[in-house]
Chain A
Amino acid sequence: DAKTTQPNSMESNEEEPVHLPCNHSTISGTDYIHWYRQLPSQGPEYVIHGLTSNVNNRMASLAIAEDRKSSTLILHRATLSDAAVYYCILRDDSGAGSYQLTFGKGTKLSVIP
């Protein structure tokens, strides 16, 4: 799986938007961009994923650069329960593999009340 680069940590004030960046300059055409998060003492939780177009769901938005070499996870209004480690993961969906996820260290998001 292609590699991603994320900041180790970020801080946000409660009720403000948060933009979590991810660089993936070696992304291939069949790589989907996935975001998961892991709250303290819990299993990873799916947030959002996309291929080329920007995506929105009830949890977040995903903005994908036109060249797909970077993406940004947007939490529109951070709450204390959004404090977690956020993982940006590229997954090869060409069918050659078994669709497993390769986790990096992620970005630890702290939310300040």
Chain B
Amino acid sequence: EPEVTQTPSHQVTQMGQEVILRCVPISNHLYFYWYRQILGQKVEFLVSFYNNEISEKSEIFDDQFSVERPDGSNFTLKIRSTKLEDSAMYFCASTRRGKGTEAFFGQGTRLTVV
């Protein structure tokens, strides 16, 4: 069964450093998403990406965040200058199309900012 894969599974970084979280969505999917989950809290939507551009973003997704789909297969989330409060699980997801379809999530990257 096809799956969304994320790397690395765990990343430790120093405050102020840039990090790039990587995702390989399912190959024939068209919509791509990043979510995050701070320990013990809800899963929160960050950003959606369709047709090579951001289609929607939340208030969390400020100028420190950016997304790219550089080569048609990878989907990346960059945090330019990490803060302690960026420590969370980051989940990538994809859907085949929009209406009436389910999202497939990766296993997540645990980001720890020290």
Q: A residues near B, CB below 8 A?
A: 32, 34, 36, 38, 42-46, 49, 51, 87, 93, 95, 97-105
Contacts and interface: CB of A to CB of B under 8 A. Distances in A.
Given A98-B31, A98-B55, A102-B45, 6 more contacts: A34-B102, A43-B105, A43-B108, A98-B48, A100-B48, A101-B103
Contacts of A36: 103
Interface size class, chain B: 20 to 34
Contacts, number: 61
B75 interface: no
A99 B100 CA distance: 9
A61 to B, nearest CB: 16
Interface of B: 31, 33, 35, 42-45, 48, 50, 55-56, 91, 93, 95, 98-108
Contact of A93 (B44, B98, B106): B98
A75 to B, nearest CB: 17
Contacts of A42: 107-108
A1 to B, nearest CB: 10
Contacts of A49: 100, 102
Given A43-B108, A44-B43, A105-B42, A100 B33 contact: yes
Given A98-B31, A103-B42, A46 B103 contact: yes
